[in-house]
Amino acid sequence: MPEQRPRVILAFDFGSKRHGVALGNELTATANPLDVIPARDGIPAWQLLDDLVANWQPDVFLVGLPLDEDGGATPLSQRATKFARRLFGRYGKSCYGMDERGTTKAAKRLVKKAGHKGNYREDPVDSLAAAFILQAWLDLAEAGSEDAASARFLQPLAGPQVAGRSQTATAVESKKT
């Protein structure tokens, strides 16, 4: 069986007006804030995203899912899942989802301690939130959690490995949305 190489991951803090982007890899199990991409009603500026993908050549994508307090889907997490399917349809790379509750608040707390003035429209923290999402996912993957609630985040939302879905069916569905 061929040995798998560590993957490069591009992660997103999904939002209706902008998406924070972070980059990480499985070799070092670290995540770093990268960029903020403007979005209109959740749809990113695709050319900017195309440039990031071409530059960093990620193996997979990770999208933060804004779940409710009980871990259930919300209208925004459903839109984030749709974005994950669009990523797969556009780039042909598997896309995972990760619970992102509290990451923006944590990012704001951290930058406030460093002297941020609080104008998050002018100086957004979305890429830092994306890095928090990615770091939590890398930590979970490294721990190899067997907890069903945690392990579900290690399963792709979109891509060829999605249970009961063929790669072609998922790609066709993505292009329709």
Q: Which domains does the chain have, with CATH numbers?
A: 8-176 (3.30.420.140)
pTM value > 0.85: no
Supply the DSSP symbol for 88: H
Instruction: Please count the other Cβ atoms lying within 10 Å of the Cβ belonging to residue 177.
Output: 9
Supply the DSSP symbol for 102: T
The answer to whether 62 touches 27, Cβ cutoff 8 Å, is no
Per-residue tokens: 159:
């891509």
* 101/163 Cα distance (integer angstroms): 25
CA-nearest of 93, 95, 92, 64 to 80 is 64
pLDDT tens track of the chain, all 177 residues? 556 788 999 999 999 999 999 999 999 999 999 999 999 999 999 999 999 999 999 999 999 999 888 888 899 999 999 999 999 999 999 999 998 888 778 787 887 887 877 776 777 789 989 999 999 999 888 876 666 556 667 777 787 766 544 333 333 343 334
* 20/56 Cα distance (integer angstroms): 15
